[in-house]
Amino acid sequence: MIAKVFIDSDVLIDIATEREPFFPASQAVFSLAESGVFLAYTSPNSITNIYYILTKLSSASKARVFIRKTLEIVRVADVDHDSVLQALESKFFDFEDGVQNYCALRNRCDYIITRNIRDYEFSEIRVLDPKEMLLLHKKNT
């Protein structure tokens, strides 16, 4: 069965901005999703946050192009009322990370890929940074 991977917005922003030193590993994870090695998901709020950040760094048209390309590969996961309530009641320090976590759980993701692993210390899902995800993939192939 193919793995389902939730990609946090920081990883997608690293790709959009080619932010060093994070870009190569983040892009490689994205390429694995593109080639069908796993199914990639993100949340609706990640998409809106990415749009906002990219419009501040560049332009709305470039942000839209990046998001369109991203959505060809990454699926937008469902977030429901209960997921938001769970995040509010959780031990997550950062509410947004809690929402991301419960979004990933709701959509039965196997991994969360983020550069901010410690923000997900209460997650029931295995949390990896992009480099760790690449190592795991290499080990399993």
Q: Which residue has the higher pLDDT, 67 or 139?
A: 67
The pLDDT-based confidence of 125 (bands split at 50, 70, 90) is very high
**Residue 128 and residue 29: Cα distance in Å, rounded?**
11
Beta carbons of 121 and 101 less than 8 angstroms apart: no
Q: Looking at the predicted structure, is the pLDDT value of residue 1 above 80?
A: no
pTM of the complete model: 0.94
Residue type, 109: C
Helix, strand, coil % over all residues of the chain, rounded to 5:
60, 10, 30
Domain segments of the chain as ranges? 4-140
Strands (DSSP E) contained in the chain are: 4-7, 39-42, 74-76, 111-113, 126-128
pLDDT of residue 136: 92
- For 35-55, what is each residue's pLDDT tens digit? 999 999 999 999 999 999 999
- For 112-123, what is each residue's pLDDT tens digit? 999 999 999 999
- For 64-107, what is each residue's pLDDT tens digit? 999 999 999 999 999 999 999 999 999 999 999 999 999 999 99
Residue 119: how many CB atoms within 10 A of its CB?
21
Class of the domain covering 4-140: alpha beta
**Residue 28 and residue 61: Cα distance in Å, rounded?**
25
49 vs 108, 110, 125, CA distance in Å? 23, 23, 23
